[in-house]
Structure 1
Amino acid sequence: MSTRTDTLLSVRGVETYYGKIVALRGVDLDVHRGEIVTMIGANGAGKSTLMMTICGQPQARNGQIIYDGQDITLMPTHEIVSRGIAQSPEGRRIFPRMTVLENLQMGAALVDPSLFDEDLAKVFKLFPRLKERINQRGGTLSGGEQQMLAIARALMSRPKLLLLDEPSLGLAPLIVKQIFDAIRALNEEEGLTVFLVEQNAFHALKLAHRGYVMVNGNITMSGTGAELLKREEVRAAYLEGGRH
């Protein structure tokens, strides 16, 4: 496994349970600074559980999660977030009764207030649609706009590591392209480190520097995005109508 000194997130031997059910079975992976890393796998493979375990809900029963040189395995979620990890969870989970602006203010709650206007301008440049909807309630936005808002809210916390859980889920192809273009821009222009969990394997692997494949709570393959796109097993399972 990697011994690089620029590793931002290191997961080693992580096992997570729901009651007596094993959800993650000794997961090992690394995310290096400035990378986009993706994890693909079928629905129910354990991808979202890994994302939530990194954030401390649920906590790993065995193994270790090291972030930015510190062991966060048993830290409470609010401490993990305060260290620079932001998550845009599956299903968007914005605050539906709050306006776009109020949602973004919630994202910025732990950040120096003097930086708010600057950060707001950045997310509006990334997602101009949100600027048009600034006073609209989150629950009245389209699915694509809600996904943009979920990502923008996460960005308002100025993260070192952005966790994205199924950002393309249920969205039209044109919106999916906009979301993935925005992720690429954040990485290339801001140097933001991104860990992306996706069922849309083609888009995710094209975007990612490196990728992992998860099956039944196990990592079964890893490599560069380009390498995984060429693997017959990946193509058969996730790229030729086999993914669901």
Structure 2
Amino acid sequence: MSTAPLLDVRNVETFYGNIQALNGVNVSVSEGEIVALIGANGAGKSTLMMTIFGTPRASSGTISFAGTNITQLPTHEIARLRIAQSPEGRRIFPRMTVLENLQMGASLDKLKYFDEDVEKVFTLFPRLKERLTQRGGTLSGGEQQMLSIGRALMARPKLLLLDEPSLGLAPLIVKQIFDAIRELNRTEGLTVFLVEQNAFAALKLAHRGYVLVNGRVTMSGSGKELLADPEVRAAYLEGGRH
């Protein structure tokens, strides 16, 4: 792992109008790590993900990626630096086929590595190969989530931002998706920053984690440490295992 973090968020504050959503947030993700951000609904988890990606903008603080200050960069320039996002709610292109969605993900490189990369996605998510000519909007929720992650992977990211990948999915599908993330990290060294309400699954997967409460980071540690912490267990893990 590199000494300087790949992603470094320092004292970031974000507002929606007059409402402060993030309050002095500090998080870092080193190359080759899976880092989880857990917290209750409305804690600001998705806002942090979107702020890293440039919409909304941080009103103060800095966000650095691979040594470059990206705080004020437009979203399309952030994407060119090889940060890819699988957003909350999947946001695939519903009228496009599975194949067309994957092509959209690969457009940064003008489809240069398309054949090679699409095979990797099909190895991770064989279901997508079976659904290749189907429109995205007709897929099941689990298939749409696989497509959203697959589309992000087609951009050959150095950092993958995953926002609520398990939301609304059956436990078996959640396991498939988390297994795929673990495999990508193990075999390709993919760096992942994961926002997840399923704290148990996220902390089992992650090397490190942060707890966000009302826009502030209140706790951090290894995945194992946070899983064992009585406060974390009481707030996020009781009855929440999958």
Aligned to 1:224: 222
Aligned to 2:150: 152
Offset at residue 241 of structure 1 (A): 3.4
In the alignment, is the contact (CA less than 8 A) between 1:160 and 1:193 conserved in 2? yes
Q: Structure 1: how far apart are the matches of 2:114 and 2:98? A: 14
Offset at residue 206 of structure 1 (A): 0.2
Q: Which amino acid aligns with 2:153?
A: L
If the length of structure 2 is used for normalisation, what is the TM-score? Answer: 0.97
Aligned to 2:159: 161
In the alignment, is the contact (CA less than 8 A) between 2:145 and 2:165 conserved in 1? yes
In the alignment, is the contact (CA less than 8 A) between 1:111 and 1:158 conserved in 2? no
Aligned to 2:127: 129
Per-residue deviation, residues 36-83 of structure 1 (Å, max 9, x unmatched): 000000010000000000000001000000100000000000000000
If the length of structure 1 is used for normalisation, what is the TM-score? Answer: 0.97
Aligned to 2:69: 71
Q: Structure 1: how far apart are the matches of 2:180 and 2:113? A: 21
Q: Which amino acid aligns with 2:57?
A: Q
Offset at residue 111 of structure 1 (A): 1.4
In the alignment, is the contact (CA less than 8 A) between 2:39 and 2:213 conserved in 1? yes
Offset at residue 219 of structure 1 (A): 0.2
In the alignment, is the contact (CA less than 8 A) between 2:103 and 2:111 conserved in 1? no
Aligned to 1:53: 51
Per-residue deviation, residues 91-120 of structure 1 (Å, max 9, x unmatched): 000000000000000000111423110001
Unaligned runs of 5+ residues in structure 2 are: none
Q: What is the aligned length?
A: 240
Aligned to 2:199: 201
Matched, 1:184 2:182: yes
CA RMSD of aligned residues (A): 1.1
Aligned to 1:40: 38
In the alignment, is the contact (CA less than 8 A) between 2:83 and 2:157 conserved in 1? yes
- Following TM superposition, the consecutive aligned residue runs of length 4 or more in structure 1 with deviations greater than 6 angstroms are none
Per-residue deviation, residues 4-39 of structure 1 (Å, max 9, x unmatched): 634100000000000010000000011000000000
- Among all aligned residue pairs of Structure 1 and Structure 2, give the percentage whose two residues are the same amino acid: 75
Q: Which amino acid aligns with 2:21?
A: A
Q: Which amino acid aligns with 1:206?
A: K
* SS of 1:113 mapped into structure 2: coil
2:6 counterpart (5, 8, 12) = 8
Q: Which amino acid aligns with 1:57?
A: T
2:109 counterpart (95, 104, 111) = 111
Aligned to 1:31: 29
Q: Structure 2: how far apart are the matches of 1:241 and 1:47? A: 21
Q: Which amino acid aligns with 1:122?
A: K
1:175 counterpart (173, 179, 183) = 173
* SS of 1:38 mapped into structure 2: strand
Unaligned runs of 5+ residues in structure 1 are: none
